[in-house]
Amino acid sequence: MPITISSGLAWVRRRAENVIAGLLGIMFVAFLLQIVFRYFLNFPIGWSSELSVIAWLYMTLLGSAFWLKESEEVRFDLISGSLGSRGRRVVGLIVAVCAVVLFSMAMPATWKYVTFMKVESTSYLNIRFDILYSVYLVFAAAIIVRYLWAIFSLLRGDAPEAVDITKASSGL
């Protein structure tokens, strides 16, 4: 990968990490406020729960689109893990093509749904749902770009790294 693209991706990952940390902080403060108001002041508030759900949604989608590395994603690699370099490349190519095709096919309907949801808003914070759901469009576009890059890399001859279940990052 060229240095400019690599440094650009590293910058995007750092900014995504900053946003995710901020959202986690917002979610934590909203959760604490909810506890204080409900149990100490006997005055339940709904907006804090709504804010926590929105922060969680944005953390999940933005994090998986811009911050999470390919090697850190949850995957079922029982078959591809037992294959050699060429087999992993073929399986990776099939998966990447399927992801690009399916997300691309879903994009027009997703766009219609998101733009349609401008008629609704959240109960407490009165944020229009089209604004809230627009993060999914960003997520889907980022996934399409990520897997297009994976297709390019796989066709160039780069094989996905072999799974090593003895490594700490393997999920064990």
pLDDT tens, 63-113? 988 888 776 676 667 777 777 778 888 888 999 999 999 999 999 999 999
The position carrying tokens 């370099």 is: 85
Please name the amino acid found at residue 156: R
Average pLDDT over residues 29-48: 92
User: What is the per-residue pLDDT for 76?
Assistant: 67
CB 115 within 8 A of CB 107: no
Average pLDDT over residues 128-154: 94
SS (HEC) of the chain: CCHHHHHHHHHHHHHHHHHHHHHHHHHHHHHHHHHHHHHHCCCCCCHHHHHHHHHHHHHHHHHHHHHCCHHHCCCCCCCHHHCCHHHHHHHHHHHHHHHHHHHHHHHHHHHHHHHHHHHCECCCCCCEHHHHHHHHHHHHHHHHHHHHHHHHHHHHCCCCCCCCCCCHHHCC
The whole-angstrom distance between residue 90's C-alpha and the CA centroid of its chain comes to 24
User: What is the per-residue pLDDT for 171?
Assistant: 47
* Local confidence band at 13 (pLDDT 50, 70, 90 cut-offs): confident
Beta bridge partners of 128: 121
Q: Is the pLDDT of residue 120 over 60?
A: yes
Q: What 8-state DSSP symbol labels residue 169?
A: G
Q: Is the pLDDT of residue 3 over 80?
A: no
Segments making up each domain of the chain, as ranges: 1-68, 75-172
Average pLDDT over residues 48-72: 88
Q: Is the pLDDT of residue 146 over 80?
A: yes
Arithmetic mean of pLDDT over the chain: 87
Please indicate whether residue 103 or residue 46 has the higher confidence score (pLDDT).
Answer: 103
